[in-house]
Structure 1
Amino acid sequence: MTLTDDHTVLASSKTPFYQAVGDEREVFRAAAGRGLPVLLKGPTGCGKTRFVEAMAAELGRELITVAGHEDMTSADLVGRFLLKGGETVWVDGPLTRAVRAGAVFYLDEVVEARQDTTVVIHPLADHRRELPVDRLGTTVPAAPGFHLVISYNPGYQSVLKSLKESTRQRFVAIELGFPPQAIEVEVIAHEAGIDEQTARVLVTLGNAIRGLDGISLREVASTRMLILAGGLIAEGLSPRSAVRSAVVQALSDDQDVNRALGELVDAILPRS
């Protein structure tokens, strides 16, 4: 029974596909070897979650993922007493399960959670490597292999949703971004199951959107969006329809913005 929406992936012999851009793999392995927590920062859809999945599989460790949100409480992470069969029993939260099992615990979009909730990770992110469970009056030491990973998008967060310095300074930071064109083409072709020429056109469009000035976009065309468009193309949808559904309409509800994006699509995508 889980206390919050979490996703558990057991260690597998098959490592999820991830194409490194820099030395992020080496930094992550070194941090894991020393038990140092990792902070991933980068734009939405650039591959942060896939990177953690790939590294957990490479290290042969279970991965427990939780998405941060404003209603999250410390009990959602640590655990709480619940009524089961007429008895009150303690049920570990996903963080406590990861600490006991020596798993990789990934808290995605950490700044979406309240700051009074995320401070619960502080004792796990320094030399103590332990989790106080106040309701049980005990402290759970991190089992060998436990690794704490958090992520956020610096460009998207407002001043009111920034990462506290007392949290940030406990972590080894890895900055991820959209990959160079050649690597992004390879990733999209592999993930979407399309040919490299089609993937290259999608990447050209994605880079053009990322470089647009003068229109109001909270986010730009991510690698994830381009993969979704590629997947629709692989299912037989025309490139224009695929891009319109997976990219243009997903980026904005503003008609003027969509019109400008549509003109860009017309200029780049071949007519079917």
Structure 2
Amino acid sequence: MKNAVLTYHLKPSILKTENQHTEIAIPFYKPIAKEVEVFGHAFKNKIPVLLKGPTGTGKTRFVDFMAHQLHKKLITISCHEETSSTDLIGRYIIQGSETVWMDGPLTKAVKTGAIIYLDEIAEARPDVIVAIHSLTDHRKELYIDKLGETVNAHPDFMLVASFNPGYQKGFKELKPSTRQRFIALAFNYPNEKDEAEILISETQIDASTAKKLVAIATKIRNLTELGLTETVSTRLLVDAAKLIHTGLGKRLAVRVAVVEPLTDDHEITEALADLCDLMI
């Protein structure tokens, strides 16, 4: 299947609720391949979904969009090296003079039928992977060891995770036994035309500058010999375009929003800054 490339706008439409007092932002999403259709079928069949791709390619925005399309509550967990199964499942807390149990976000999602999104799941501790195993196979249940209880997942419960295959490759990766519990959608950076349109829509920057920013990003993304852990994301370009649109000098905006976030290596930073100066 062709890579699913996100085209998004951070200025979503507005939907008013029935009482007209609350406004809900509707994330805008332009399907490129069959990712929306695939996700819908995965939800219908209760199959977990793994979104894989570089930082800033729109994995989180896609989940936001699909949760809205399916009219489901979305619970997002940004995983890191300290994220444990206890954080997700729940714990006992002291409340007044009593010790009471408090469900974690995963348990709440399992019980209520929400979509839970584990962002950068490979960053979490190994016990998190163990905890979700029974939710990613035919059992569709969650065992809460501290209570000695097993909770059957609500019929609408869905587990979604994201993973950046290129980040710390060989150090923090998902095991094949875990990856094969999901279906997977691949995300990548938008093509140059779509990316320029994103910048214009996001920031009202002029088309000429938008094209130059995209050209810079494309050039840096192709400089694989620099050995950068991450490359220029669409998110960084949006930040640069915003700064330029509000009056910051183009070269300075590109340096602080695009170049400096990529590396702390002084020589590489200066080389990239010189390149950007010439292109902008």
Query: Is TM (by shorter chain) over 0.5?
Result: yes
1:233 aligns with 2:244: yes
Counting only pairs closer than 5 Å after superposition, residues 16-35 of structure 1 correspond to structure 2 as: 16-35=27-46
Unaligned runs of 5+ in 1: 1-10
Superposed displacement of residue 14, structure 1 = 4.2
Is there any run of 5+ residues in structure 2 with no aligned partner, and where? Answer: 1-16, 18-22
The count of residues paired between Structure 1 and Structure 2 equals 259
Task: Tell me the CA shift for residue 13 of structure 1.
Answer: 5.8
Whether the 8 Å CA contact 2:53–2:163 is kept in 1: the answer is: yes
Contact 1:21-1:179 within 8 A present in 2 as well = no
Partner secondary structure for residue 261 of structure 2: helix
- Decide which of 209, 214, 230 is 2:225's aligned counterpart: 214
Q: String of CA shifts for 1:102-154, please: whole Å, max 9, x gaps.
A: 11100011111122222111111111111111111211121132110001110
Q: 1:86-106 deviations in whole A, cap 9, x for unaligned?
A: 210100111111111211100
| AA in 1 matched with 2:189 | F
**Quick check: 1:250 aligned with 2:264?**
no
User: 1:1-272, aligned counterparts within 5 Å?
Assistant: 14-269=25-280
Contact 2:199 2:241 survives alignment (8 Å): yes
The alignment's C-alpha RMSD in Å is: 1.6
- 2:4 maps to none
- TM superposition outliers: structure 1 runs of 4+ over 3 Å: 11-14
1:77 and 1:62 map into 2 onto residues whose CA distance is 17
In the alignment, the residues of structure 2 paired with residue 158 and residue 191 of structure 1 have an alpha-carbon distance, to the nearest angstrom, of: 32
Residues of 1 paired with 2:199 and 2:150: CA distance? 45
CA distance in 1, matches of 2:224, 2:124: 32
Instruction: Tell me the TM-score normalized by structure 1.
Output: 0.90
Comparing 211-220 with 44-53, greater Cα deviation is found at 211-220
Give the whole-Å Cα distance in 1 for the aligned partners of 2:24 and 2:46.
Answer: 23
Deviation at 1:192, TM superposition (A): 2.9
SS of the aligned residue for 1:264 comes to helix
- How far did 1:229 drift? 0.9
Is contact 1:123–1:131 with CA below 8 Å preserved after alignment?
yes
In structure 1, how many angstroms separate the alpha carbons of the residues matched to 2:163 and 2:203?
Answer: 25
Higher percent of residues as strand = 2
